[in-house]
Amino acid sequence: MALRIPTRRDALLAAPTAVILLLAGCGGPAADVDGQPAPRAVLTDANVTSILTTANNAEIGEAQLALTRSTDRSVREFAQRMINDHSDANQRLMQVAARTGMRPDQTTDQIQNSAQRARQSLQVRTGADFDQAYITNQINMHRWLLQTIDQALLPAARDGRLEDLIETLRPTIVDHLQHAQRIQQQLERR
């Protein structure tokens, strides 16, 4: 079955529902999507930039761990790609952040805490168990990131350059998800 890649139009159609859901969550704890928190309030450009940078840093940290722990060549190549692509995304976001005045918010703390728990869980694993857990986590993280981009970050972005950058980065995230899914299928056949 082919993965349908949602378009910007799909995100705009879903935006009113997403905003209602995000605002409804303002009074209580944030919802979890595949282990990651969903943003809870109306976001500023600075918040959007901060969330994306924090998510990129989480990806880079896990990928660095995978380079030291994985025994599978395709997993290691994927991890190196995560480091390269997410480092590049952070550099591009930092250019935008200079204009938006990035500042951390509660959501970034939640992402950092979730990423730390994931790394701790991965650190005790070895061999094929590590590879499978890392790839499963990457699938979950990239699904969460796409959902967050579509339902919260793109609708919240006000700076046209930030919106354009997110739209430019989104296909790479889709490609990361599809790549991780292919690796997961390969690992399951072994």
Query: How high is the pLDDT of residue 79?
Result: 97
The token pair at 9 is 């139009």
Q: Classify residue 101 by burial, with Cβ atoms within 10 Å: 0-12, 13-18, 19+.
A: exposed
The CA angle 118-121-126, to the nearest 5 degrees, is 125
Query: How high is the pLDDT of residue 5?
Result: 45
Per the listing, tokens 């990423």 go with 115
The share of the chain scoring above pLDDT 90, in percent, equals: 56
Lowest mean pLDDT among 8-17, 19-28, 177-186: 19-28
Helices (H) and strands (E) in the chain, counts: 7, 2
- Strand partners for 6: none
**What is the average pLDDT across 104-115?**
78
DSSP at 149: I
Query: How high is the pLDDT of residue 92?
Result: 94
Confidence of residue 42 (pLDDT cuts 50, 70, 90): confident
pLDDT above 90 for 173: yes
Domain tally for the chain? 1
Query: How high is the pLDDT of residue 102?
Result: 65
Per the listing, tokens 């061999």 go with 127
Query: How high is the pLDDT of residue 114?
Result: 86
The answer to the question of residue 3 being in a domain is no
Query: For residue 189, how many other CB atoms are within 10 A of its CB?
Result: 6
pTM of the entire structure?
Answer: 0.74
AA letter at 124:
V
The share of the chain scoring above pLDDT 70, in percent, equals: 75
pLDDT above 60 for 123: yes
pLDDT above 90 for 99: no
149 close to 173: Cβ distance less than 8 angstroms: yes
Domain that holds residue 172: 43-189
Instruction: Give the chain's mean pLDDT.
Output: 80
The answer to the question of residue 7 being in a domain is no
Query: How high is the pLDDT of residue 190?
Result: 81
The answer to the question of residue 141 being in a domain is yes
Confidence of residue 7 (pLDDT cuts 50, 70, 90): very low
The answer to the question of residue 63 being in a domain is yes
Confidence of residue 64 (pLDDT cuts 50, 70, 90): very high
The answer to the question of residue 118 being in a domain is yes
Cα 90 to chain centroid distance, Å, stands at: 12
Q: What CATH number did the domain enclosing 128 receive? A: 1.20.1260.10
What CA–CA distance (Å, rounded) separates 43 from 56? 18
The answer to the question of residue 28 being in a domain is no
What CA–CA distance (Å, rounded) separates 83 from 79? 6
